[in-house]
Structure 1
Amino acid sequence: MDFVLKEEHGFSYIDEGEGEVLLLLHGLMGSLSNWDGVVNQFKSKYRVLIPILPIYDMPLITTGVKSLSKFVHKFIKFKKLSNITVLGNSLGGHVALVYVLAHPENIKAMVLTGSSGLYENAFGGSFPRRESIDFVREKVQYTFYDPAIATDELVNDVYKLVNDRHSVIRLLAMAKSAIRHNMKKDLHKMQLPVCLIWGRDDKITPPEVAVEFNELLPNAELHWLDKCGHAPMMERPDEFNVLLGAFLEKIKE
């Protein structure tokens, strides 16, 4: 990642380009670099912001999806943002859903890709044995259709994370919060335009999750990417950006 990480007012974030705001929210074990392709493609026409979500920095008692949504609200107020298109992957999509429900006035449109909020099969139904980097590698590869996307760097980052007691406790708490906080009964209230971009081979939030989102959100459109897993913006960045660009053009005022 070649972008400048800004630090102010307790926030760490990337802020690139000018124009209408694209706010990108990463997943539970995601990072800012997951969105490199989107930033590079759209920073010439949009203002692209990515805050680091404080998944491992909150008090354990408040670690959850709602707390992350409140953090996003504080960030939006601090940066004085409005008319936002919010994009969320995995847990980031779930946070976007909770935020839109609470503050629909700030959000113009939403893009969900591999979003939790209905059902997710985190780590393939089990948590990695912390002593085994091979097991961690297997579970990181499970995220993608192409296991080669799970680079040594990515595997080592996750291995460090699950071997840090402070972090792993919060990781489990956040995952449990996401499972408890099911959005099914609230989706009909969200009238804004929604673009669902989903990997047909997503094993964590499988295709039936995307179909259900599409059925329950009143103003949604669903697009599939073949040979693609849980993080389409990483695994199929060019195709993802084409779909995203078409959606952004469609919702232009």
Structure 2
Amino acid sequence: MLKELATENGVLRYYDVGPSTTAPPLLLLHGSGPGVTGWRNYEGNLPALSQHFRCLVLEFPGFGVSDPTDQHPMMAAPASVISFLDGLGLDRVDVIGNSMGGIVAAQLAINHPDRVRSLVTIGGMGKNIFSPFPGEGINLLMEFTDDPTRERLVQWLRSMVFDQSIVTDEMVETRWEQATQPETLDFSRRMYGSAAMAARAASAADSDAAPYWAMLHKIKARTLITWGRDDRVSPVDMALLPMRTIPDVEVHVFPNCGHWVMIEQKDAWEATVLAFLQRGAA
């Protein structure tokens, strides 16, 4: 059941699934892209995870579920996480983040180390070392955002997975319906339109501020990095930098798997993550 939390920056919506509010809290942060939601990212994993944790699936502002924001969605996300934790009275949590959600989770662990007990990321976090940036999946995402058609949406969805049968007609229609809502499409263009991406690159080149990936050595939380070997959105060489700089880190790469590790290698991913989190609790 979708719940609501009123904050000074609008209503945040979330799912609260687990044995009880006394179970260890596990915050799940979703990725970006057309039609994405936290529920669609993690729905299939909740039956396994919620046996051991109170699973809190936060819907970031700007993706069509929580209230919109005037900020760039990536800039609004970290503050929304703090507002969410404060609003629920949670001092310390385990965090799972997929792609963009993994970057936000890493920023939380860097800037608020006392609030993250353990950190799990799914692809997308780090820096391209051998592969070009942007990758194939990001280029397809920009093409869809600039000129949204069903054909471009299908091309992007197919770049997300190794097993092409995962991209069903139902998935396409569900994603299309939400991705083409005017407000959601506007937010997508702020993130992935070609003009926005060019402006972001120029701003980064002119900025004296260190990028988040240069601060990964500050993460104190136990960290598990999970990745699909065949990821065409964020190639697996991106994991090399966080693997070498985060002090207490493990890396698990899943074969025959694209960007959505928690979906495409569901059982293996769940077993790996639960073993990691429970080992930390012990």
Aligned position for 2:224: 195
What letter corresponds to residue 252 of structure 2 in structure 1? Answer: H
- The yes-or-no answer on 1:123 pairing with 2:137 is yes
Aligned position for 2:43: 36
Secondary structure of the residue that 2:281 maps to in structure 1? coil
Aligned counterpart for 1:55 among listed residues 62, 74, 78:
62
2:126–2:239: 8 Å Cα contact kept in structure 1?
no
- The yes-or-no answer on 1:73 pairing with 2:102 is no
Q: Distance in 1 between matches of 2:73 and 2:135?
A: 17
1:130: how far off?
3.5
What letter corresponds to residue 51 of structure 2 in structure 1? Answer: S
Mark the CA change 1:219 to 1:161 in structure 2 (over 3 Å): closer, same or farther: same
1:20: how far off?
0.8
Q: Distance in 2 between matches of 1:131 and 1:34?
A: 22
Aligned position for 1:112: 121
Q: Deviations over 1:57-86 (max 9, x none)?
A: 5444x1142321000100000011133110
Q: Distance in 2 between matches of 1:196 and 1:131?
A: 32
> Unaligned stretches of 5+ in structure 1?
none
Q: Deviations over 1:149-206 (max 9, x none)?
A: 1222322233344534432231132344987584221001112110011110011111
Q: Distance in 2 between matches of 1:169 and 1:117?
A: 26
1:117: how far off?
4.9
Mark the CA change 1:69 to 1:124 in structure 2 (over 3 Å): closer, same or farther: closer
- The yes-or-no answer on 1:213 pairing with 2:236 is no
The RMSD of aligned alpha carbons is: 2.2
Q: TM-score, normalised by structure 2?
A: 0.81
1:216: how far off?
1.9
> Unaligned stretches of 5+ in structure 2?
129-133, 205-209
Question: Alignment length, in residue pairs?
Answer: 249
Q: Deviations over 1:60-118 (max 9, x none)?
A: 4x114232100010000001113311000011111111222221111101000013453
1:12–1:51: 8 Å Cα contact kept in structure 2?
yes
